[in-house]
């Protein structure tokens, strides 16, 4: 007794904070969410619209352990992440562990000794407004996913998935691809002025007075009045310094964008790497909308720069953030700016360097360019868009770097500092000039890659920094968008996948697929988090609209292949079963009778042969060589498709004690007897197996988590080798 229990989300974070707090505290991890909506059912009461939660799969042992630790402790402190998701995890912990409503909740944005101790010295309570906002988001996503997806799949006759944000993300790609396919290139002309005696110098015609908005000089005849020799007067000759601000420190989205361009990391990889760096105490919290550092963060970086004789800005640049920012704590920065390299892997070290450089440059002096701007007026008069005579103007700009400022220290995101000087000309001077045209062609809008798609969603207020990585993985994993085949870029461009168009067209009239509607939902969630709107005032109208949309606005045709059963000639339809195991790619196809009753006189499942239904091989049976019950011959779904035998009635396998039997030339054989031994390290039972890849013998513990820390043991002449000392030591340390 006498200890305070501090609960965080991850074991890595728990280990780091435990080092900071010492033995008077016990730091334990919930390992993410401990409870959630049920996986196999809606989990939301359609009358009250209230969710029902259950312990997440595989978390019962964690719950039991935390309850035990809570009882043994004098006090419990909830120290989950400082955002809506973290607040919800804290609330679920309070409810699951039966903690009082007054349980302490602490918040911190970096895992350093000062930040953790300051947080513990200033505890608060769980913010129920933030919890309500997270719960509303979770329920909305569940209502849409679990109600629209089945309705869509039923229409399509294939399994499809819809989501409140993911379907809108797919729409971005579909709409852009249609823009590109419907785009018709068109030639246009640009008029350029050259001065006698200055062959490298050009100024471009300001077309705006002569054209309607959005128009160009489409025809050569449109450009002709401007062409040819003419006198021009220099009416503006301005040379002035221009400050070049450094880029802002990273927000979540900007970090994903930059790391994708420079290193080719996906949004998911960036978030995983940043999470690890945060838990190691290397960076501040990585889910943020703010592009500005805290005063404390600025002072730390300034002190480091001065100590190392590096330049410091007299006035640190500030940057405008999003008006609807949610996680508006400071931008991402290193917690220890003096550390040039942190992270446990090469990828983590690369991301850390990028974060550190941005943060450090942001408090350095601006660069300064000397910018020259010239405006020339032609002697000619040409009718403008209102048919009034007007003298055409020609504009040009040049620059010369005067002070590199922060640019001198940028390495990963090195900006261009190339000079573009203009000749020195006197204002009011008259020059002999000549105007020529150059022909150009309009280009379609570019396809989205992961970074530009996330930026487009952020610009429209769709989704949040903490959700973009998951959204990208969902729609890529399901094949609704896919990389352009010929793209070799680090971050390839996307095109709609096989079912991307279908989903968007089927749901086009649904309210939640509207860009503006989705943004409005995000704004309502913000109001709930601020206590300005209730949970029901958002969820109920959305549910009512959703049911109306499913009933009246779902427009979809069947995507499934159909055919005739080769056995009974009745209608059959193609289905797919999800592939299992690591490395699985596409789901496997099979066929069933459209009318399930037709299978009674035929077969229940038909095989697929290049999108055609075929009857399965005739069932082969044989008595079990162990218990004499009936076995049936089956074929593996693995690469070798080899035969094996199993009890036709699964209950017989339990009483028999043997589940699978090898095939010996068409007959069932007895499996090789199981060879077991005792582990020298922990005394647990290990059994002899063969490595699937090499065929070499090895020993594996029957226990999932053996006390010795070594799940697998090498084979030494038919006996298990002792556990690896390194693994055992690591297991004891944890």
Can you spell out the DSSP letters for 408-445?
GG-STTPPP---B------TT-EEEEEEEEEEEE--PP
SS3 17: helix
Cβ atoms of 244 and 416 within 8 Å: the answer is no
Cβ atoms of 505 and 514 within 8 Å: the answer is no
Nearest to 134 by CA among 90, 84, 91, 92: 84
Secondary structure in 3-state letters for 315-328? CCCCCCCCCCCCCC
Distance in angstroms (rounded) separating the CA atoms of residues 713 and 698: 6
> What is the residue whose two structure tokens read 């988090």?
529
- Residue 708 DSSP code: T
Distance in angstroms (rounded) separating the CA atoms of residues 663 and 652: 19
Cβ atoms of 630 and 614 within 8 Å: the answer is no
Distance in angstroms (rounded) separating the CA atoms of residues 16 and 116: 11
Check 25, 108, 188, 285 and give the catalytic one: 285
CA distances (Å), origin 318, targets 247, 311, 355, 364: 10, 17, 17, 12
Q: How many Cβ atoms from other residues are within 10 Å of residue 105's Cβ? A: 21
Nearest to 78 by CA among 9, 21, 24: 9
The CB-side HSE value for 396 (13 A sphere, CA atoms) comes to 22
b/e burial code for range 288-317 (CB count within 10 A of at least 16 → b):
bbbbbbbeebbebbbebbeeeeebebeebb
Nearest to 496 by CA among 177, 167, 144: 177
Alpha-helical regions (H) of 465-578: 465-477, 500-506, 515-529, 535-552
SS3 122: coil
SS3 600: helix
CA distances (Å), origin 668, targets 412, 642, 645, 664: 64, 13, 6, 6
Distance of CA 467 to the CA centre of its chain: 6
Distance in angstroms (rounded) separating the CA atoms of residues 59 and 187: 63
Distance in angstroms (rounded) separating the CA atoms of residues 166 and 468: 9
Distance in angstroms (rounded) separating the CA atoms of residues 91 and 105: 10
Is 285 among the residues known to form the active site?
A: yes
> What's phi and psi for 217, nearest 5 deg?
-80, 90
Nearest to 95 by CA among 17, 20, 149, 34: 34
Distance of CA 295 to the CA centre of its chain: 30
The CB-side HSE value for 644 (13 A sphere, CA atoms) comes to 15
- Residue 711 DSSP code: S
Cα-only R_g, the chain: 33
Distance in angstroms (rounded) separating the CA atoms of residues 172 and 60: 40
E strands, 513-629, where? Answer: 562-564, 571-577, 588-593, 607-608, 613-614, 621-623
- Residue 124 DSSP code: B
Cβ atoms of 160 and 554 within 8 Å: the answer is no
Task: Give the residue numbers marked as catalytic.
Answer: 285
């Amino acid at each position: 007794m006498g200890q305070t229990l501090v609960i965080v989300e991850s074991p890595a974070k728990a280990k780091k904070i435990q080092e900071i707090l010492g033995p008077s505290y016990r730091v334990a991890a919930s390992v993410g969410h401990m409870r959630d909506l049920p996986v196999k059912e809606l989990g939301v009461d359609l009358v009250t619209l209230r969710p029902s939660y259950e312990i997440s799969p595989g978390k019962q042992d964690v719950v039991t352990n935390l309850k035990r630790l809570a009882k043994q402790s004098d006090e419990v402190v909830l120290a989950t992440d400082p955002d809506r998701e973290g607040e919800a995890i804290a609330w679920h912990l309070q409810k699951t562990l039966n903690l009082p409503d007054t349980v302490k909740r602490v918040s911190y944005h970096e895992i350093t000794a000062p930040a953790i101790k300051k947080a513990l010295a200033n505890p608060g309570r769980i913010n129920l407004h933030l919890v309500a906002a997270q719960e509303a988001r979770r329920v909305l996503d569940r209502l849409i996913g679990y109600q629209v997806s089945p309705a869509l799949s039923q229409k399509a006759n294939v399994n499809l998935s819809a989501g409140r944000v993911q379907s809108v993300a797919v729409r971005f790609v579909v709409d852009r691809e249609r823009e590109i396919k419907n785009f018709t290139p068109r030639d246009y002309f640009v008029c350029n002025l050259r001065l006698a005696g200055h062959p490298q110098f050009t100024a471009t015609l300001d077309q705006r007075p002569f054209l309607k908005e959005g128009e160009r000089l489409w025809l050569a005849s449109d450009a002709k009045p401007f062409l040819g020799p003419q006198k021009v007067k220099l009416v503006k000759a301005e040379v002035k310094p221009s400050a070049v601000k450094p880029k802002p420190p990273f927000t979540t989205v900007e970090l994903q964008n930059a790391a994708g361009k420079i290193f080719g990391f996906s949004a998911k990889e960036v978030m995983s790497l940043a999470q690890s760096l945060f838990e190691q105490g290397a960076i501040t919290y990585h889910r943020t909308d703010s592009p500005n550092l805290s005063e404390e963060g600025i002072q730390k970086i300034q002190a480091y720069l001065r100590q190392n004789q590096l330049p410091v800005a007299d006035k640190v640049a500030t940057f405008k953030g999003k008006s609807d920012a949610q996680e508006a704590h400071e931008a991402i920065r290193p917690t220890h700016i003096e550390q040039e390299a942190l992270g446990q892997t090469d990828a983590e070290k690369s991301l850390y360097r990028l974060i550190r450089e941005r943060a450090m440059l942001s408090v350095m002096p601006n660069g300064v360019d000397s910018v020259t701007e010239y405006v020339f007026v032609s002697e000619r008069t040409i009718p403008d868009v209102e048919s009034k005579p007007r003298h055409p103007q020609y504009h040009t700009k040049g620059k010369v770097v005067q002070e590199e400022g922060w640019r001198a220290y940028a390495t990963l995101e090195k900006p261009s500092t190339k000079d573009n000087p203009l000749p020195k000309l006197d204002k009011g001077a008259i020059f002999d000039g000549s105007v020529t045209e150059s022909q150009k062609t309009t280009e379609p809008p570019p396809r989205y890659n992961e970074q530009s798609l996330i930026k487009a969603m952020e610009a429209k207020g769709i989704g949040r920094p903490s959700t973009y990585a998951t959204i990208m993985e969902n729609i890529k994993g399901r094949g609704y968008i896919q990389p352009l085949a010929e793209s070799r870029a680090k971050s390839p461009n996307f095109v709609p996948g096989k079912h991307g168009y279908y989903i968007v067209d089927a749901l086009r009239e649904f309210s939640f697929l509207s860009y503006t509607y989705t943004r409005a939902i995000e704004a309502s969630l913000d109001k709930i988090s601020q206590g300005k709107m209730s949970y029901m005032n958002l969820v109920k109208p959305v549910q009512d609209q959703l049911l109306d949309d499913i009933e009246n606005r779902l427009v979809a045709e069947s995507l499934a292949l159909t055919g005739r059963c080769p056995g009974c000639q009745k209608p059959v339809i193609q289905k797919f079963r999800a592939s299992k195991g690591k490395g699985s790619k596409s789901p496997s196809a099979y066929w069933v009778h459209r009318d399930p009753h037709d299978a009674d006189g035929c077969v229940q499942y038909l095989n697929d042969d290049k999108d055609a239904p075929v009857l399965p091989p005739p069932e082969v049976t044989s008595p079990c060589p162990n218990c004499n019950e009936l076995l049936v011959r089956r074929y593996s779904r693995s690469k070798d498709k080899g035969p094996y035998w199993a009890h036709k009635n699964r209950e017989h396998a339990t009483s028999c004690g043997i589940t699978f039997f090898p095939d010996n030339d068409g007959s069932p054989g007895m499996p090789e007897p199981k060879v077991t031994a005792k582990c020298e390290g922990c005394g647990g039972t290990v059994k002899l197996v063969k490595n699937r890849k090499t065929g070499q013998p090895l020993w594996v513990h029957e226990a999932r988590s053996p006390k010795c820390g070594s799940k697998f043991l090498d084979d030494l002449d038919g006996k298990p080798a002792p556990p690896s000392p390194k693994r055992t030591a690591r297991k004891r340390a944890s």
